[in-house]
Structure 1
Amino acid sequence: MSRYVLSPTTRALILPLLATVALATACTTGGDTPDAASSTGSSTSAVATPSPTGQPSASASGPVTIPTSAFVELPAELRKSPRRTTPVTEALPTLCGNEFGTGGRQVTASAAMTVTYKKAGEADSNTPQGMIHQTIFTFEGDGASNYLRRLRDAVRACPSYDQGGNPVTVTSKALPGVGDEALLVTRTWATTSLSGERTGEGESSAQIAVARVDGAVTVFHDQGWEGSSGNPTILDRTVRDGVRAIDAWQR
């Protein structure tokens, strides 16, 4: 049986075409990190697949695209480093359990990014002040409202939890004027050293803000650098800017 052998000229034309097709397929399927949003710029986007906590229902109308532009970017004076893609399971906080990952079957997509911040006016060479992990969930039907309702109940059921042998107190309250509804969770603990031992220097705290914008929910998890306190002022500004970014995306 004879075989058809491609000439060198023909191979030179076909191989780049095959590589282009393979790259396009990887971008639309999300590769091995389906929960990740692209961090290459606001003009790019990633098809964010459902989080591990829930699968989309049969009525979902195809994949949902969460673009990079839907995520907040810090102003230059606060930005220690550019935002970067983060796995959803690493971005979401945990208290007594998986309170923030209970999206259920109405979740149609999820993605997360992290921004590292500094104090305004500080040199880039200085130690960062903290990080804010932002997760975006999209839902179908009344899934977004249901998520906030379940989250409020779960947080109330967790007034404290253990963190490396040290108790952490949890309080929550409504965050007015942010999105369609919002919740602010504050975690407080005795200040510890890098080794986890109490220093006797008072308390440290950090906050988690959750906001619903129509059928989307975003979770902002503020972590101070190396276990220190977060910055409530920067978090509040980030949350409000983030809600505006999601609102603009959905319009």
Structure 2
Amino acid sequence: MSAELSDLYRSLTAVADGQELTHPELVRRRADRRARVRMAGTALAVALLLGGVAAGGRVAFPADGPAPLPPPADTPGPLPSGPAPRPSPSAPPSRSPTPPSPTPPHSTPSATPSAPTTGAATPPQPTSIPDRAFFALAAANQTGLESQVDGPALPVLCTARYPSDSAVVQRRGRYLAYKRPETPPEYVPAGSYRHTITIYRAGRADDALRELRQAVRGCPEQRLPDDTRTWRQRLLDSGRYGDESVLFEMRAPYPEGRGDPGEDEVRLVRAVRIDNVVTVLWEQGWEDTAAERAQVDADSRRAVAAIENWLD
């Protein structure tokens, strides 16, 4: 070893021998204190950094402006310390659909369902014919000659039969004579009616009129018992009477020496249905007179009105 190196070691030894060594426990406390100082400085730096970020966020995004974007879901970050951001106007808050209510809030369901509204009650089916169901002649046509009669409601029409007769509930008839208004009281009547009213079972009265039409069409000509003349039958336009009606005529030449020469004896028969009731006005004349359509029409209207008043 050189002399210079030996002198250097002796100098270092002399210096070291003059210094007092620090106790190991003191060295540990100093190291812990330095570590705590470093950790406090780091925490302070982090707090300052967070405060600056929050302040910058408030400056960049005012309270009434759009909210800052949240951090990604997989990146942890500090919770914001300011007020909760308002929702963006362009994205309205979603609302959970409200299920429809089965009953309106203003109504209260009834435990018992209300009965359906119906119209006027149907009048009961008549079973008997009162006297007031027969019409009265106009005062100027009255003769005072009236009586109850039985027998058929219609004249013979060849061999016609009426199956609806099996559905008859009741039938009543009467005979009455009429005069013209200008005929003096002491003169004979101008004509007469066989007037009948028949009640049929429900739904069968229209059968009676259908069968009558068929009977007239099926008997255009015939000879009646004890009469040598040929009678001709045909349907006429009945007009509007009741629910439906049938009008036909029977026509034959007057017998020799009776009536006006070249003229025909004419009988008119009208059947009118009102619901399940049929009224028949059969004009039968008086001593070689002929039926007049105007008189039969007027009395037919009276007969219909009387039955309608009875049924109401």
TM over 0.5: yes
Q: How much does 1:133 deviate? A: 0.9
The 5 Å alignment of 1:159-178 reads 159-163=220-224, 164-178=227-241
Could you tell me whether the CA contact under 8 Å between 1:88 and 1:135 is conserved in 2?
A: no
Sort the Cα spacing of 1:102 and 1:137 in 2 relative to 1 into closer, same or farther, 3 A.
Answer: farther
User: Is there any run of 5+ residues in structure 2 with no aligned partner, and where?
Assistant: 1-123
Percent identity, aligned pairs only? 26
Deviation string 1:16-53 (CA, Å, 9 cap, x unpaired) is: xxxxxxxxxxxxxxxxxxxxxxxxxxxxxxxxxxxxxx
1:122 aligns with 2:183: yes
Distance 2:311 2:151 in 1: 21
Partner residue of 1:244?
Answer: 305
Distance 1:97 1:111 in 2: 23
Query: Which of the two has greater strand per residue?
Result: 1
Distance 1:102 1:132 in 2: 25
Sort the Cα spacing of 1:247 and 1:121 in 2 relative to 1 into closer, same or farther, 3 A.
Answer: same
Partner residue of 1:69?
Answer: 132
Could you tell me whether the CA contact under 8 Å between 2:242 and 2:304 is conserved in 1?
A: yes
Could you tell me whether the CA contact under 8 Å between 1:174 and 1:182 is conserved in 2?
A: no
Could you tell me whether the CA contact under 8 Å between 2:126 and 2:199 is conserved in 1?
A: no
Give the TM-score of the pair, scaled to structure 1. Answer: 0.68
1:136 aligns with 2:197: yes
Partner residue of 2:158?
Answer: 96
Structure 1 residue ranges, 4+ long, deviating more than 3 angstroms after superposition: 197-200
1:210 aligns with 2:276: no
Q: How much does 1:199 deviate? A: 6.8
One-letter identity of the residue aligned with 1:169: R
Sort the Cα spacing of 1:192 and 1:145 in 2 relative to 1 into closer, same or farther, 3 A.
Answer: same
Deviation string 1:59-88 (CA, Å, 9 cap, x unpaired) is: xx9982201111111011101124321113
**Larger CA Rg, structure 1 vs 2:** 2
Q: How much does 1:193 deviate? A: 4.9
User: Is there any run of 5+ residues in structure 1 with no aligned partner, and where?
Assistant: 1-60
Give the TM-score of the pair, scaled to structure 2. Answer: 0.56
Could you tell me whether the CA contact under 8 Å between 2:259 and 2:289 is conserved in 1?
A: no
| Equivalent position to 1:150, from 211, 227, 235 | 211
